[in-house]
Amino acid sequence: MIIFSKNHTGYSKIFNITFLSSSFPFPFMHERNFFLLLSIAEKSGFSGQLDSSTVQLSRELNSSQQTISRNLKELEEHGFISRAVSPAGIRLSITDSGRKELRRALIKLQHVFEEKKPKQIKGTVKSGLGEGTYYTSLPAYQKQFEEKLGWAVFSGTLNFSTERDALDEFIHGLKMIYVEGFKTKQRTFGGIKCFKVKINDAVEGALILPDRSNIPRDEAELIARVSLRKKLSLENGSEIRISAEGIH
């Protein structure tokens, strides 16, 4: 399913720790709070707890009491820390979700230093809601697909689900091809990010990610010259393999 909502501009400052890399607007964490989370992790010993106060933390972190208070509340609201407030101060600990965010950062940095990048990902075919067919059939998009990808696209998308972090890492290593959005009197159609891939090592296609869509971060869509579903005899639940194609 594709849901175009806005055009490219209209940035949200909120984002998940895909680290600016992906366009999903799922509001997870403000980037600025990442280092606060890291500091808490360091102080609390990761799985322990930290008894402190907003004044204490503001001194250690060179910020104001008010800002620490607000940012801790935000981290709690987003589920990254748990926070018990008492007249004596604050007891903090990192949640599983918070640990996950930190681990994501760690893995990204490790990849940078090891120059390791995933070259392929696996996915499971899902049913779309027919909207992909509609959007990919719009001439304004079709024309651009043909120009920028080098081939005319079949009117229909193959939806698949995969592992969120793997997807982020995967597309980060690929060259992005950007299909512009456009406006009609009725509504605005957003831009689409495309990444050339090979599906099941057999068929050339492109992984597409609509800008600012409401698609969860663990789903994406594929387009190709032909119907991937027919060509590769895929059904819902089929496993597919998506690999990097061409240069980077």
Choose among 208, 211, 214, 201: nearest CA to 241.
Answer: 201
Contact 98, 80 (CB under 8 A): yes
Q: Per-residue string for binding with its own copies, 176-215, x by CB under 8 A?
A: x-x------------x-x-----------------x----
Choose among 78, 214, 206, 77: nearest CA to 151.
Answer: 206
The minimum distance between CB 52 and DNA, in angstroms, equals 7
Instruction: State how far the Cα of 32 lies from the Cα of 166, in Å rounded to an integer.
Output: 24
- Which of DNA, its own copies, none is residue 130 near (CB under 5 to 8 Å by kind)? none
Q: Count H helices, E strands: the chain?
A: 8, 14
The minimum distance between CB 126 and DNA, in angstroms, equals 32
Stretch in the footprint of DNA (CB under 7 A) among 81-89, 102-110, 162-170, 202-210: 81-89
Q: What residue type is 186 in one-letter code?
A: Q
Q: Kindly determine how many residues on this chain lie close enough to bind DNA according to the rule CB under 7 A.
A: 26
The minimum distance between CB 24 and its own copies, in angstroms, equals 9
Instruction: Provide the token pair at 220.
Output: 């994406």
Instruction: State how far the Cα of 193 lies from the Cα of 20, in Å rounded to an integer.
Output: 14
Residues forming the site for its own copies (CB under 8 A): 8-9, 11-12, 15, 19-23, 25, 31-32, 34-36, 38-39, 41-43, 45-47, 56, 59-64, 102-103, 105-106, 108-113, 115, 172-173, 176, 178, 191, 193, 211
